[in-house]
């Protein structure tokens, strides 16, 4: 059954990587020029159009560790490659703390990009983009898609079956499987409310909420799984 996108158009069936597949993809991306893109997309849930517009001015790889409480490394997702340059909606603007793997991948990526800039010399176009072509220009969707397919094949996945947007789908699925509340997932992916998240990612969200039943089982069942009290 084909899924619908956020705007209601019928599209290809949505899917997401499970934890084993995601781990394999991350491992296979080591040494790839799109390693940082894959890590960032999968571990933060950022939209592909947000990452392609991301500049180093909106990346903080150090944070402020001396603050009380400390301010972690982060990215500001305030722009996109959409017409006008804004994120999908005003409420999509968000600042996300970076997981350790993202900091490591971005640090290495920044160093590699600096070497590319030095080699390019006067041919380099200084757009300050985090993810750029070999001469500093903006990458298009096809660039990212081809590079992802190469890494997916190395990870043992069907290289034709996965697209960059499904890294974001996978983020939602992994967060949901880990028990993160829907309200928190909605804020992380930049949705204005949980209804949008449920509509767009209904196949990635846990279909049955088990926490309540698990808690009640613990409270009202004995060690032999028999009820502690009967009506």
Residues tagged active-site = 47, 88, 168, 191, 201
Q: How many other β-carbons are positioned within 10 Å of the β-carbon of residue 45?
A: 23
Residue 148, token pair as written in the block: 């992802």
Cα–Cα distance measured from residue 32 to residue 17, given in angstroms and rounded to the nearest whole number: 19
Instruction: Give the C-alpha distances (Å, rounded to integers) separating 34 from 24, 26, 178, 180.
Output: 15, 11, 26, 28
Neighbours of 80 (CB within 10 A): 21
Distance CA 99, CA 45 (A): 12
Degrees, nearest 5: CA angle 192-43-142: 85
Q: How buried is residue 38: exposed, middle or buried, by Cβ count under 10 Å (0-12/13-18/19+)?
A: buried
Q: Which residues of 56-65 are buried (b: 16+ CB within 10 A; e: fewer)?
A: eebbbeeeee
CA distances from 148 to 38, 104, 191, 223 (A): 8, 19, 25, 49
Count of CB atoms situated within 10 Å of the CB of 162:
24
């Amino acid at each position: 059954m084909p899924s619908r996108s956020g705007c209601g158009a019928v599209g290809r069936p949505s899917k997401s990587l499970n934890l084993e597949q995601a781990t394999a993809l991350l491992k296979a991306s080591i040494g790839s020029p799109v390693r940082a893109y894959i890590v960032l997309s999968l571990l933060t849930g950022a939209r592909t159009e947000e990452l392609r517009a991301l500049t180093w001015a909106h990346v903080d790889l150090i944070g402020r560790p001396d603050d009380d409480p400390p301010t972690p490394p982060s990215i500001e997702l305030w722009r996109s490659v959409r017409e006008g340059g804004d994120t999908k909606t005003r409420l999509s603007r968000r600042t996300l703390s970076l997981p350790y793997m993202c900091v490591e991948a971005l640090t290495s990526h920044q160093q590699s990009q600096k070497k590319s800039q030095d080699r390019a010399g006067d041919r380099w176009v200084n757009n300050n983009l985090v993810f750029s072509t070999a001469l500093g220009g903006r990458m298009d969707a096809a660039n990212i898609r081809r590079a992802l397919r190469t890494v997916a094949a190395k990870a043992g996945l069907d290289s034709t079956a996965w697209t960059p947007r499904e890294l974001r789908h996978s983020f939602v699925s992994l967060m949901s499987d880990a028990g993160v509340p829907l309200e928190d997932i909605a804020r992380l992916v930049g949705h204005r409310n949980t209804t949008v998240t449920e509509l767009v990612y209904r196949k990635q969200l846990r279909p049955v909420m088990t926490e309540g039943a698990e808690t009640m089982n613990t409270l009202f069942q004995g060690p032999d799984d028999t009820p502690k009290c009967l009506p």
